[in-house]
Structure 1
Amino acid sequence: MNLFILTGAGVSAESGLGVFRGTGAALWKRYDPMQLATPEAFMRDPALVHEFYNARRRNLIAAASNAAHIALARLEAGLAQRGDSMTLVTQNIDDLHERAGSKRVIHMHGELLKARCASCGAVRDCREELSTDSRCGCDGALRPHVVWFGETPLYMEEIYAALERADRFVAIGTSGAVYPAAGFVREARARGLRCCEVNLEPSENAAQFDERRYGRASEIVPSWVEEILAR
């Protein structure tokens, strides 16, 4: 078995991290992403952008992995023990998969606990708050190491190569609204893969999945993982 798993904000919501889309208190319903999450916004008002991401970083540092993260780490280890494999690609910018024990996570939208130089592109760990005075060794301005609107997601060649090797595609906690990730299920179906959606509620592209399970991630992900490991 070679699983390709895509996770989204729904995996981390029960850890107290706000989702960017969806119902309720979704962040992009309360804030204008064009003022906070574009290269142009950072050039126009870097202090405002830093203030927003500093708050997200503080929230993340105080959070903890939940049962869904832990179950996926257990799945990775269990598959490896029997000679199977798993690729975990996340749209999330948090590190809760890693804290739960996942060994290899591909962060296609970047990582909040890292900073990137806007000039030379160097990336470094960052748990402190950033400001307009935060500088790289080359004296370039530091920005959050996250993919903003209008920017290309990271590791796309690696992701598509992993999708070609997979024999099953699973999307967990995703909205099905953000591309290119929302198009992965279509790519998987074109390759003849069985596709499963595990989510709180149907995503925007739910009809493209062969199997669908709905409920709280902390409940349905562990039960789904146990089924996979029992096969």
Structure 2
Amino acid sequence: MQIPDITVPTIAIAGSADRFPVRRIFCVGQNYADHAREMGSDPDRQQPFFFAKPADAVVANGSTLPFPLLTEDLHHEVELVIALGAGGANVPAGDAAALIFGAAVGIDLTRRDLQAVAKKAGRPWDMAKGFDRSAPIAALTPGVPADNGMIALDVDGETRQSGDLSMMIWSVPEIIATLSTYVELAAGDLIFTGTPAGVGPILRGQSVRATIDGFEPLTVTFAR
């Protein structure tokens, strides 16, 4: 048997024919107070926690996706995604912005029923969060993103989530700095920075549109 020839996942860059190679995907849990409350958690400024998705979970803007396996409760979570062009360990928050290549609109897809089972049993969330095609991402806009701006998501034209980036409990530099104490960050790493309240189910055949001021909107549709 031959050694497999594996292609590195990439995402588009706005205004360029070049593409950004994805090394790893990290996600911050419950980084908006209103979302923490709707998930039954205390939104006080506690240390952020992280989970991961595989790099090949990325999905291009405009894709039609098969409905995920083993779920009847697929949820949307619109998020600002940060792409790192450099890395490091124990990065001070004041130096974190220098690591950023750009940012984009993303959707953290979640098999909420599997997550609920895992939480009840005290087990990891891996299969609830890190499944195939669970990380749709629009084209990256190069540069450091603003710390404010409308973030929203609609399903078939109905607004489900609406908030502002300024509502984050932990800022983007703080997220990068804290994550760098757990792992040595590197160029190609992506960070999903959390979602505002309003997460909810997506049904077969529905289209989801996610937006953040100043970024390319993201749209994906689920097959029936």
Specify which structure has the higher proportion of strand. 2
TM-score of the pair, normalised by structure 2: 0.23
Question: Taking CA–CA contacts closer than 8 Å with sequence separation of 6 or more, which of the two structures ends up with the larger relative contact order?
Answer: 2
Specify which structure has the higher proportion of helix. 1
